[in-house]
Amino acid sequence: MGKIPCLLLVFIVTLSRSVAQIHGPKNQGEALDNLYKAKFSRDSRIDSVPVEVLDTNQFEVMDMLLDESEVRPLQKGSKEKDRIKMLPGQPQVNFSQYGGYVTVNESAGSALYYYFVEADQHSKEAALPLLLWLNGGPGCSSLGYGAMEELGPFRVHSNGKTLYRNKYSWNKVANVLFLESPAGVGFSYSNATSDNTYTSGDRDTAAQNYMFLVNWLERFPEYKDRDFYIAGESYAGHYVPQLADNILHYNKKAKRSVVNLKGIMIGNSVINDHTDMQGMYDFFGTHAITSNENLRKIQHYCNFSSAGSLYKECQEAMDKADTDVNVIDIYNIYGPLCFNSNLTSKPKKTSPMNFDPCSDSYVLAYLNRPDVQEAMHANVTKLAYDWQPCGGFNWVDSASTVLPLLKEFMASGLRVWVFSGDTDGRVPVTSSQYSINEMNLPIKTQWHPWFSDKEVGGYVQVYKGDLTLATVRGAGHMVPSIQPVRALSLISHFLAGTSPIAKVKT
Ligand SMILES: *[C@@H]1O[C@H](CO)[C@@H](O)[C@H](O)[C@H]1NC(C)=O
Ligand SMILES: *[C@@H]1O[C@H](CO)[C@@H](O)[C@H](O)[C@H]1NC(C)=O
Ligand SMILES: *[C@@H]1O[C@H](CO)[C@@H](O)[C@H](O)[C@H]1NC(C)=O
Ligand SMILES: *[C@@H]1O[C@H](CO)[C@@H](O)[C@H](O)[C@H]1NC(C)=O
Ligand SMILES: *[C@@H]1O[C@H](CO)[C@@H](O)[C@H](O)[C@H]1NC(C)=O
Ligand SMILES: *[C@@H]1O[C@H](CO)[C@@H](O)[C@H](O)[C@H]1NC(C)=O
């Protein structure tokens, strides 16, 4: 590569970095930490009342936009107009890709950006399910993380401009829809916001996601009757159940299946604040990250049920744990750090099995290329700021628990899976275990290993009712990035409604 393009790339990367600091958290972790520090601070003004099943507050907002008994689509875009002919630098593939905007609030001029990859199947005998994937934050992009670093069909080379195939992408087993939500994340925007400081929260996000979905299905009507599943990670532990709750509510109201929801799957997800917090520090203490003494202090002085009134001794012990953990990648505690996020002129050698910890910067460069945005039908209104992995938000409500919703889903016959990459320190397996324990569910199938490629892929326990808790061995917060084979095995079993393989053939 000549000198000029090289300098240009460096310029793009430097420019984007300075913007990131002004406008938003630099990654999913910072977004989650910002929210939880605010939630547990003494002067917290975040509404964190636990979710209620069929929360009337939440529905009031949408009822203004939806008919009494029927969903009234806001607009009919065109599927063919959204077809992505080819992404710049992509290898040849046989499946179709789409990208575009769906308006979710006409009066505010809010539109959400989606990227949709149809299933990569050579035999068309079975119509594979539709799967919506959501990343968390709050405020982080399912396109930048989910599609480009985790379960999507392509990953970005270290040159920031060409793509390579992820052999273990989830579109082997489903038609996968990635959504940037709420407005203010990535390419999704609202004309009512003049700069890019957005105000949103759990309820608003659930409403936007629902409006998106019913309108997207108008554009892709062949998916209306298809089995539909929602999956996500991290703060999507809120988004996924809250969207599912909206779907159940409006199906009931319309007396028909407006959205054919069959199940949800959430990973390394925040679902119940006090057990999630306790589980995080217990994990640090039992994984030689913070000392036994410090863990004992946290266990003694911190009462995470009384957010906003934590003792000084608790705060000190948490700060100590922070300094212990901040020097490693909390999302992948045994994984490498990124020391040089500069793009390279020649792509570094890649393998989906060997996740590059500098991937964020390759994706940042790629999605900010004008030719990429044009090909993806993104940024059509020429937003005044760059694409960022996470937007800066003023987050006004964040339920302290979503466990009542999981119970509701079980009672409604939805499939509910909670999974956990067991080397994540941020929303670790201990948090998920403690949170599920709070539900007091009887056990149907005792804790046992599951297998993938003759090795233990993780462990699984099934509760009566039906809820499955499955770990993924050796995977961090972003499970499909670190353990793509095991992740694909897990999602395949989830979608098929079968248990992960419990025995290896000898
Ligand atoms: C696309 O499909 C054709 C025909 O089924 C097959 O021969 C080819 O290998 C496929 N290409 C890719 C990249 O999967
Ligand atoms: C749509 O936007 C308007 C104007 O900003 C706002 O008043 C209204 O609450 C929004 N509707 C929903 C459902 O969020
Ligand atoms: C936002 O404003 C732009 C410029 O006026 C317009 O083209 C676009 O359609 C608006 N978006 C929505 C969702 O109304
Ligand atoms: C923790 O705080 C909650 C709520 O204020 C209170 O009900 C509970 O008794 C406290 N637990 C301990 C061990 O102090
Ligand atoms: C990254 O690029 C900048 C600008 O060219 C350079 O100053 C810096 O040394 C590079 N970083 C590394 C770790 O090579
Ligand atoms: C949108 O396009 C404008 C003009 O090309 C560019 O400056 C801006 O960074 C882009 N924003 C996003 C969010 O893609």
Give a three-class secondary structure readout of 360-415: HHHHHHHHCCHHHHHHCCCCCCCCCCCCCCECCEEECECCCECHHHHHHHHHCCCE
- Catalytic site residues? 234, 424, 477
User: What Å distances lie between residue 307 and 217, 274, 394, CA to CA?
Assistant: 40, 8, 19
**Contact in structure between 435 and 420 (CB atoms under 8 Å):** no
Give mean pLDDT, residues 19-44.
71
Mutate to test the pocket of ligand 6, among 385, 388, 390 (most ligand atoms within 8 A of CB): 385
Count CB neighbours of 67 within 10 A.
Answer: 10
DSSP structure class, residue 143: I
Name the nearest CA neighbour of 362 among 9, 88, 6, 5.
9
Q: How many angstroms is it from 209 CA to the middle of ligand 4?
A: 35
Which residues pair with residue 232 across a beta bridge? 134, 266
Number of Cα atoms under 13 Å in the Cβ half of residue 276: 24
- Mind listing the pLDDT tens digit for each residue in 46-102? 787 777 665 555 555 555 555 433 455 555 678 999 999 999 999 999 999 999 999
Which residues have C-beta atoms less than 6 Å from ligand 3? Answer: 103, 109-111, 191, 381
**Tally of residues, the chain:** 506
Q: How many angstroms is it from 18 CA to the middle of ligand 5?
A: 15
User: What Å distances lie between residue 373 and 86, 369, 397, CA to CA?
Assistant: 12, 6, 32
Any ligand 5 atom below 6 A from CB of 340: yes
At residue 105, the 3 state secondary structure works out as strand
pLDDT on residue 317: 95
Any ligand 2 atom below 6 A from CB of 191: no
Question: Tokens 């399910």 map to which residue?
Answer: 129
Cα separation, 167 vs 158, whole angstroms: 18
Mutate to test the pocket of ligand 2, among 57, 60, 74, 107 (most ligand atoms within 8 A of CB): 107
pLDDT on residue 123: 57
Give mean pLDDT, residues 468-478.
97
Backbone angles phi, psi at 424, to 5 degrees: -85, 135
- Say yes or no to pLDDT of 422 above 70: yes
Which residues pair with residue 198 across a beta bridge? 393
Q: How many angstroms is it from 190 CA to the middle of ligand 6?
A: 14
Name the nearest CA neighbour of 154 among 133, 168, 174, 173.
168
pLDDT on residue 58: 52
Cα separation, 9 vs 345, whole angstroms: 9
At residue 177, the 3 state secondary structure works out as strand
DSSP structure class, residue 194: S
Mutate to test the pocket of ligand 3, among 110, 181, 191 (most ligand atoms within 8 A of CB): 191
Question: Tokens 């959504």 map to which residue?
Answer: 179
- Say yes or no to pLDDT of 186 above 60: yes
Q: Which atom of ligand 1 lies at the shortest distance from residue 91's CA?
A: 13
Which amino acid is residue 294, in one-letter code? N
- Say yes or no to pLDDT of 166 above 80: yes
Name the nearest CA neighbour of 29 among 136, 181, 133, 151.
136
pLDDT on residue 125: 57
In terms of pLDDT, which residue wins out, 15 or 116?
116
Cα separation, 131 vs 147, whole angstroms: 13
Q: Please name the residues in contact with 375: beta carbons below 8 A apart, sequence gap of 6 or more.
A: 84, 85, 86, 87, 88
pLDDT on residue 15: 32
Cα 187–chain centre separation = 16
Give mean pLDDT, residues 290-294.
97
**Contact in structure between 394 and 199 (CB atoms under 8 Å):** yes
Cα separation, 270 vs 490, whole angstroms: 20
Pinpoint the alpha helices (H) of 116-226.
202-219
What six digits make up the tokens of 139?
Answer: 């405020």
Say which ligand is closest to the CA of 307: 4
Which residues pair with residue 199 across a beta bridge? 394
- Say yes or no to pLDDT of 197 above 90: no
**Contact in structure between 258 and 214 (CB atoms under 8 Å):** yes
Q: Which atom of ligand 5 lies at the shortest distance from residue 342's CA?
A: 1
Q: How many angstroms is it from 476 CA to the middle of ligand 5?
A: 28
Dihedral sign of CA atoms 129, 135, 140, 143 in order: negative
The burial of 251, by beta-carbon neighbours within 10 Å (0-12 exposed, 13-18 middle, 19 or more buried), is given as middle
Cα separation, 281 vs 288, whole angstroms: 11
Cα separation, 207 vs 190, whole angstroms: 14
Cα torsion for 207, 145, 276, 455, to the nearest 10°?
130
Name the nearest CA neighbour of 390 among 5, 32, 3.
32
> pLDDT averaged over the chain?
89
What six digits make up the tokens of 396?
Answer: 């006004």
Say which ligand is closest to the CA of 203: 2
Cα separation, 348 vs 7, whole angstroms: 18
What six digits make up the tokens of 382?
Answer: 């020429």
Name the nearest CA neighbour of 36 among 304, 283, 265.
304
Q: How many angstroms is it from 88 CA to the middle of ligand 1?
A: 20
The CA-CA-CA angle for residues 467, 469, 471, to 5°, reads 160
pLDDT on residue 21: 32
Cα separation, 59 vs 68, whole angstroms: 12
Give mean pLDDT, residues 435-451.
97
- Say yes or no to pLDDT of 304 above 60: yes
What pTM, to 2 d.p., does this model score? 0.92
At residue 26, the 3 state secondary structure works out as coil
Give mean pLDDT, residues 219-248.
96
Q: How many angstroms is it from 99 CA to the middle of ligand 1?
A: 23
What six digits make up the tokens of 103?
Answer: 């308006």
Name the nearest CA neighbour of 362 among 344, 346, 335.
344
Q: Give the DSSP H or E segment for 121.
A: none
Q: Which atom of ligand 4 lies at the shortest distance from residue 303's CA?
A: 1
What six digits make up the tokens of 249?
Answer: 């509510």
